[in-house]
Protein backbone atom coordinates (compact mmCIF):
# COMPACT_ATOMS: atom_id res chain seq x y z
CA UNK A 1 0.00 0.00 0.00
CA UNK A 2 2.75 2.42 1.07
CA UNK A 3 4.74 1.50 -1.98
CA UNK A 4 1.80 2.33 -4.20
CA UNK A 5 1.40 5.70 -2.52
CA UNK A 6 5.08 6.41 -2.99
CA UNK A 7 4.77 5.55 -6.65
CA UNK A 8 1.74 7.83 -6.95
CA UNK A 9 3.71 10.66 -5.37
CA UNK A 10 6.59 9.90 -7.71
CA UNK A 11 4.32 10.11 -10.77
CA UNK A 12 2.70 13.26 -9.44
CA UNK A 13 6.10 14.92 -8.82
CA UNK A 14 7.37 13.92 -12.25
CA UNK A 15 4.29 15.42 -13.87
CA UNK A 16 4.67 18.77 -12.11
CA UNK A 17 8.43 19.08 -12.42
CA UNK A 18 8.18 18.34 -16.14
CA UNK A 19 5.38 20.85 -16.40
CA UNK A 20 7.60 23.46 -14.80
CA UNK A 21 10.06 22.77 -17.62
CA UNK A 22 13.42 24.32 -18.23
CA UNK A 23 14.36 27.96 -17.81
CA UNK A 24 15.67 29.95 -20.74
CA UNK A 25 18.92 31.85 -20.25
CA UNK A 26 19.45 35.16 -22.05
CA UNK A 27 19.77 35.03 -25.82
CA UNK A 28 23.46 35.94 -25.79
CA UNK A 29 24.35 33.33 -23.18
CA UNK A 30 26.42 31.16 -25.52
CA UNK A 31 28.15 34.20 -27.01
CA UNK A 32 29.12 35.44 -23.57
CA UNK A 33 30.42 32.05 -22.51
CA UNK A 34 32.42 31.68 -25.72
CA UNK A 35 33.88 35.14 -25.28
CA UNK A 36 35.13 34.12 -21.82
CA UNK A 37 36.31 30.76 -23.16
CA UNK A 38 38.28 32.36 -25.99
CA UNK A 39 39.86 34.79 -23.56
CA UNK A 40 40.84 31.91 -21.28
CA UNK A 41 42.24 29.85 -24.14
CA UNK A 42 44.50 32.61 -25.45
CA UNK A 43 48.15 31.87 -24.85
CA UNK A 44 50.00 34.49 -22.79
CA UNK A 45 51.25 37.26 -25.07
CA UNK A 46 54.19 38.10 -22.84
CA UNK A 47 57.20 36.25 -24.19
CA UNK A 48 60.29 36.04 -22.07
CA UNK A 49 62.89 38.48 -23.27
CA UNK A 50 66.05 38.98 -21.26
CA UNK A 51 66.78 42.48 -20.11
CA UNK A 52 70.34 42.16 -21.37
CA UNK A 53 70.60 40.52 -24.74
CA UNK A 54 73.25 37.98 -25.75
CA UNK A 55 75.16 40.67 -27.65
CA UNK A 56 74.94 42.89 -24.57
CA UNK A 57 76.47 40.19 -22.40
CA UNK A 58 79.25 39.65 -24.97
CA UNK A 59 80.03 43.38 -24.95
CA UNK A 60 80.12 43.41 -21.15
CA UNK A 61 82.39 40.35 -21.07
CA UNK A 62 84.69 41.92 -23.64
CA UNK A 63 84.85 45.20 -21.70
CA UNK A 64 85.59 43.42 -18.42
CA UNK A 65 88.31 41.31 -20.05
CA UNK A 66 89.82 44.37 -21.71
CA UNK A 67 89.83 46.30 -18.44
CA UNK A 68 91.37 43.35 -16.64
CA UNK A 69 94.06 42.97 -19.28
CA UNK A 70 94.78 46.68 -19.21
CA UNK A 71 95.09 46.57 -15.42
CA UNK A 72 97.38 43.55 -15.44
CA UNK A 73 99.69 44.57 -18.22
CA UNK A 74 99.90 48.32 -17.92
CA UNK A 75 99.65 49.20 -14.23
CA UNK A 76 102.83 50.05 -12.28
CA UNK A 77 103.87 48.47 -9.01
CA UNK A 78 101.08 48.12 -6.56
CA UNK A 79 102.35 46.58 -3.39
CA UNK A 80 100.22 44.79 -0.92
CA UNK A 81 101.35 43.46 2.38
CA UNK A 82 99.65 41.11 4.75
CA UNK A 83 100.92 40.96 8.28
CA UNK A 84 101.00 37.31 9.03
CA UNK A 85 103.43 37.03 11.94
CA UNK A 86 102.64 40.19 13.78
CA UNK A 87 101.29 40.12 17.25
CA UNK A 88 97.91 41.54 18.13
CA UNK A 89 99.54 44.48 19.93
CA UNK A 90 101.63 45.30 16.88
CA UNK A 91 98.61 45.11 14.67
CA UNK A 92 96.65 47.42 16.94
CA UNK A 93 99.58 49.82 16.99
CA UNK A 94 99.67 49.70 13.22
CA UNK A 95 95.94 50.28 13.04
CA UNK A 96 96.23 53.37 15.25
CA UNK A 97 98.50 55.06 12.74
CA UNK A 98 96.95 53.53 9.67
CA UNK A 99 94.88 56.49 8.55
CA UNK A 100 97.90 58.75 8.75
CA UNK A 101 100.26 56.48 6.83
CA UNK A 102 97.87 55.14 4.21
CA UNK A 103 98.24 56.31 0.72
CA UNK A 104 95.46 55.34 -1.63
CA UNK A 105 96.71 54.29 -4.96
CA UNK A 106 93.78 53.59 -7.23
CA UNK A 107 94.81 52.72 -10.74
CA UNK A 108 93.22 54.89 -13.35
CA UNK A 109 91.95 51.83 -15.23
CA UNK A 110 89.92 50.78 -12.20
CA UNK A 111 88.42 54.26 -12.00
CA UNK A 112 87.44 54.11 -15.66
CA UNK A 113 86.04 50.64 -15.16
CA UNK A 114 83.92 51.69 -12.19
CA UNK A 115 82.69 54.72 -14.06
CA UNK A 116 81.74 52.55 -17.02
CA UNK A 117 79.85 50.10 -14.80
CA UNK A 118 78.01 52.97 -13.06
CA UNK A 119 77.10 54.45 -16.42
CA UNK A 120 75.90 51.08 -17.71
CA UNK A 121 73.80 50.45 -14.58
CA UNK A 122 72.19 53.87 -14.83
CA UNK A 123 71.41 53.23 -18.47
CA UNK A 124 70.02 49.76 -17.81
CA UNK A 125 67.80 50.92 -14.96
CA UNK A 126 66.31 53.76 -16.97
CA UNK A 127 65.81 51.53 -20.03
CA UNK A 128 64.35 48.74 -17.92
CA UNK A 129 61.89 51.09 -16.24
CA UNK A 130 60.82 52.41 -19.61
CA UNK A 131 60.24 48.89 -20.94
CA UNK A 132 58.20 47.63 -17.98
CA UNK A 133 56.10 50.75 -17.82
Residues of this chain that bind other proteins (CB under 8 A): 2, 5-6, 8-10, 12-26, 29-30, 32-34, 36-38, 40-41
Give min distance, CB of 38 to other proteins, in A: 6
CA angle 113, 114, 120 (to 5 degrees): 90
- Name the residue nearer to other proteins (CB basis): 13 or 126: 13
Angle separating helix axes 108-132 and 54-74, nearest 10 degrees = 170
Do 107 and 79 meet the contact criterion of CB atoms below 8 Å apart? no
Give min distance, CB of 15 to other proteins, in A: 7
- Name the residue nearer to other proteins (CB basis): 16 or 129: 16
Give min distance, CB of 26 to other proteins, in A: 6
**CA distances (Å), origin 46, targets 25, 42, 54, 131, 132:** 36, 11, 19, 13, 11
Do 52 and 60 meet the contact criterion of CB atoms below 8 Å apart? yes
- Name the residue nearer to other proteins (CB basis): 42 or 101: 42
- Name the residue nearer to other proteins (CB basis): 36 or 119: 36
Q: H/E element holding 110?
A: helix 108-132
Give min distance, CB of 45 to other proteins, in A: 17
Amino acid sequence: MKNEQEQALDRWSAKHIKEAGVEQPSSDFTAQVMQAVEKASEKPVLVYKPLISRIGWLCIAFTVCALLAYTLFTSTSLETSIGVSRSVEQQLEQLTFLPLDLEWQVPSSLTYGMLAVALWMGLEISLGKKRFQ
